[in-house]
Structure 1
């Protein structure tokens, strides 16, 4: 790998100096917030964060019976305080310089988490007052969560006072997301991810304001999830310990909700399902030809109905992902009993593929779900899809444009830009990938729900998942959150801010990899976090 020249080292050292004085509260022209809010104004004052920093919800219509807001408040303060041991005693500091707490007003009494909820917030941190309180207003408690995350980013440990300080006061931040769907896919079939690892991924998503965990639970290789209606399905797990119980799944959904994140569950049918037949061999067309699922067997659809019935009790997000990608129908055409069924119903492999996907869609609709399918379904029979279908683009560019022109909704994950397992995809490409490319009609733009970065698990397990996801996912997160006008045209303009955020992730215990080099590459040489 190329070594830096002397001139480059001087420039980078100066860059580190600017970042460090930013963290220590010197006069700053740069904002180290990620993702960048819609509107920001700030001053030059400095406040101390009280050792007894309090939450005040007087006047809020949200009564927090479950404690979800209080928990979010405590988490946001804990991550700020966790970076160093706090030695400052703010009770001995002039009260006019101490921020005593945050006053949060949430206007909706409901804590329902669903697609399209209002995630906006308005944060104000005054420079003076008696007593001094930050003020946060949001329509929903989940908007308040985002405001707390932003608040946590303006708080820094001060080496002189040995306490937490808030620089650049007064702050006024008005913020809302550009897209309602900002997703991250994890794959627990190719490699099992333990429950604590999934929870840590969820925590890290909140720091970048991602709001959908796409859980690609099962695939060809393994079926790790318990399905009460068909208990032999998880015979397809790698081992007895590499399984998720129903209680585990409920815990993941609950844990994510408490952090403002929806969980999108996926069963990928009819392909990518060989593991299903370990427990129920009749799902295979034959013992020698095990994929896709047997389209001629009524039990196949009865079992899908059972899975989705069980899912409906756990996964409350309005969408279910039914896959539908990479379906090779040769097994159907080479298996005598399936071939006979096809002939009797006047179908070839292509028609049977369509029949399977549409029938699975009807089952999902009967359980109250709207459907997400990978783009092959649209490419092959788009006009036949339910109008409640969201097409998930992954193969390449131009698909989203065709989908919304046809009046369907779309999620963008084109693999050349937003696949995290593609280690040669650089953060600059993640940042510049634009979901609305060549979509200019506002009505069609509204059909693009957002986008998703995908961490497919062939080479990802608990040992490397975090550094594979971060910081490249953060580059996409700003694209999905920040208003288009605020986005940098040249990604190099945000390098310093993203580097700062990557170091912030490290400080919070997230194993985010260096910016430079290929995905999840090790640091090139000794040096500051801000240079990696």
Structure 2
């Protein structure tokens, strides 16, 4: 009996091993395992996103741990640049060594970083000049370039230059020093699109301030520049609105709220990373939580959304929200939602149905009336309204001409939008919705915002794009793993030139660089998931180097 049991046990072990081997081989086929991390392709440039233009050599330069900043500008100092330098210096010299400082100043090839900015004005708005040049070469006493120099028209271009410089710096574990490989470097860089966004939904699951800051910090590493903060939705209203203080009674709990001071803190923190914050208040649908504090906003107690279109009080509340938020959010774009509006509730509520008849309106007409009135309120507050594409699809001829149309339902929308003279943001849900965990990396990377738009003037109306993280199944425990590294694939598409990103061999050129960037995020304490998993945010399938997962 024991022998039979042992034989059975061995058989089971063999079957488990065979299954595991098959799974590993199957996963290996999906992931496309390559050579080990010790054999990284030295012909590749491991920068993300890839710069517009660059040249490099074959030298290795050492970087002084006491690296100093020399800032130059014709119109004053820049605390933002100085603070950014300190932050990046801490990233570059994350590893401490007793050998640091053991060399003489002359022994280091790079001991000074010069940042030259034409204007120290730190005004941050859509379309701010983010271009920069970066030169890194050994100071031989004759070079006009100097040791390391960043030149930019604005402080935000300089900050992007600092990010690129930090990616050039690598810690050598054998010499215990920071080095720049493939020097000298000449990089000329600028973004392809002015709007490179990430939507973060804090209504379906509350995210603490520290987590939101971590997301913003990680966005700067990929040169994303807009946080679309989807603060409020039908499930919860967590934001303090002083003009209507009972609104945040719609929060999940008293401990899951954002004060006015919290919102200011997020905006200020984002600015120091060159990131605008675009808030969203989605109306007239997705607003059930508003009525927890103010039930009169509901058409009835049994019919809670869309918001009551018949009452001036509804629009007074919207005006109060926007007025309070205008004091916090300086960015010119304000998202008014307008998606997934189902008007059956209006038609089935007696006083609303009577109002529709008196105004000779259908539910569709009332939807248009609500959106346009909300747009007028936003414009009066000096906002530029952004609306989801349903508004364009339903009543494009009547939208405010300043409207920015936000695509999400599928491809082919932006060509129609720009043909009508509106500006557009691309977020095709089939490829750039990060909560869709089964979207292949190739599809994320290959999504082209200008697809189907050949006219150069119409192409200029495409502001850029945005990856969206809806949080029905995302909270603080998995938010970063769900964002990264797939958001980085979209980030390069939005930053780098179309020629650089339209590669036919993603496995040999893009994939190794993205794997390297994912590991860089990990080193910077961002828990980015493996690159080539079958599903996003899955853990590794077995032992292996970070650089091949």
TM-score by length of 2: 0.92
Q: Deviations over 1:250-293 (max 9, x none)?
A: 00000000110000000000000000000000000000010000
Hey, what does 2:482 align to over in structure 1?
A: 468
Map of 2:83 onto structure 1: 71
Q: Distance in 1 between matches of 2:266 and 2:372?
A: 29
Counterpart for residue 25 of structure 1: none
3-state secondary structure, aligned to 1:3: helix
Name the residue aligned to 2:506: 491
1:358 is aligned, of 360, 372, 375, to 372
Q: Is the counterpart of residue 180 in structure 1 residue 197 in structure 2?
A: no
Match of residue 109, structure 2, among 85, 98, 102: 98
Task: Output aligned runs, 1:441-452, within 5 Å.
Answer: 441-452=455-466
The residue that corresponds to 2:7 in the other structure is: none
Q: Distance in 2 between matches of 1:109 and 1:101?
A: 20
Q: 1:225 to 1:441 in 2, by over 3 A?
A: same
Worse-matched range after superposition: 482-491 or 344-353: 482-491
- Does the 8 A contact of 1:96 with 1:129 survive in 2? no
Contact 1:158 1:164 in 2 (8 A): yes
The alignment status of 1:518 with 2:518, answered yes or no, reads no
Distance 2:220 2:203 in 1: 24
Q: Deviations over 1:337-390 (max 9, x none)?
A: 111111111101000000000000000000000010000000000110011000
- Counterpart CA distance in 2 for 1:362 and 1:8 is 55
8 Å contact from structure 1 (residues 427, 471) kept in 2: no
Q: Where does 1:257-268 land on structure 2 (aligned, <5 Å)?
A: 257-268=271-282
Cα contact 1:96–1:128 (8 A) shared by 2:
no
Shift of 1:414: 0.4
> Is residue 2:521 matched to residue 1:505?
yes
Q: Distance in 2 between matches of 1:242 and 1:141?
A: 35
Report the counterpart of residue 424 of structure 2 in structure 1: 410
Give the conservation status (yes or no) of the 8 Å contact 2:198–2:228: yes
Asked if 1 retains the 8 angstrom alpha-carbon contact of 2:489 and 2:514, the reply is yes
CA contact (8 A) 1:475 1:498 kept: yes
Provide the rounded CA distance (Å) in 1 between the counterparts of 2:128 and 2:27: 51
1:170 match: secondary structure: strand
Superposed CA offset, 1:130-170 (max 9, x none):
49630100000000010000000000001121111111111
**What is the CA distance between 1:93 and its match in structure 2?**
5.0
Q: Which residue of 1 aligns with 2:133?
A: 122
Matched, 1:194 2:213: no
Deviations 1:6-49 (A, max 9, x none): 9989x946242222xx7xxxxx2111000000001111111111
Report matched runs for 1:97-496 at 5 Å.
97-130=108-141, 133-487=147-501, 488-492=503-507, 493-496=509-512
Change (3 A) 1:434 1:6: closer
Shift of 1:4: 3.0
Cα distance in 2, alignment partners of residues 297 and 231 from structure 1: 19
Greater alpha carbon shift after TM alignment, 442-451 vs 491-500: 491-500
Q: Structure 2 CA distance, aligned partners of 1:120 and 1:437? A: 25
For 1:147 and 1:94, locate their aligned partners in 2 and report how far apart those are by CA, in whole Å: 24
SS in 1 for 2:174: coil
1:122 and 1:147 in contact (8 A); partners too: yes
- Partners of 1:458 and 1:409 lie apart in 2 by 29
Residues 1:34 and 2:51 are matched in the alignment: no
State how far apart, in whole Å, the 2-side matches of 1:345 and 1:213 are.
39
Structure 2 residue runs of 5 or longer lacking an equivalent are: 1-21
Distance apart, 1:128 and its partner CA: 3.2
Q: How far does the alpha carbon of each residue in 1:375-428 deviate from its partner, in whole angstroms, 9 at most, with x for none?
A: 000000011001100000000011001000011000000000000000011221
Change (3 A) 1:320 1:5: closer
Question: For 1:439, what is the secondary structure of its paired residue?
Answer: coil
Q: How much has 1:321 moved relative to structure 2?
A: 0.1
What SS does structure 1 have at the residue aligned with 2:499? helix
Aligned equivalents of 2:406 and 2:251: distance in 1?
27
Flag the 1:427–1:86 CA change in 2: closer, same or farther, 3 A.
farther
Secondary structure class of the residue paired with 1:4: helix
| TM-score of the superposed pair, with normalisation by structure 1 | 0.95
- Displacement of 1:88 after TM fit? 2.8
Q: Alpha carbons of 1:44 and 1:87: their partners in 2 closer, same or farther (altered >3 Å)?
A: farther
Residues 8, 448 of structure 1: alpha-carbon distance in 2 compared, 3 angstrom cutoff: closer
Write out per-residue CA displacement over residues 203-259 of structure 1, whole angstroms, 9 at most, x where no aligned residue. Answer: 000000000000000000000000000000000000111000000000000000011
Note the aligned Cα RMSD (angstroms): 1.7
Deviation at 1:94, TM superposition (A): 7.3
* 3-state SS in 1 of match to 2:57: coil
Between 219-228 and 124-133, the greater mean CA deviation after superposition: 124-133
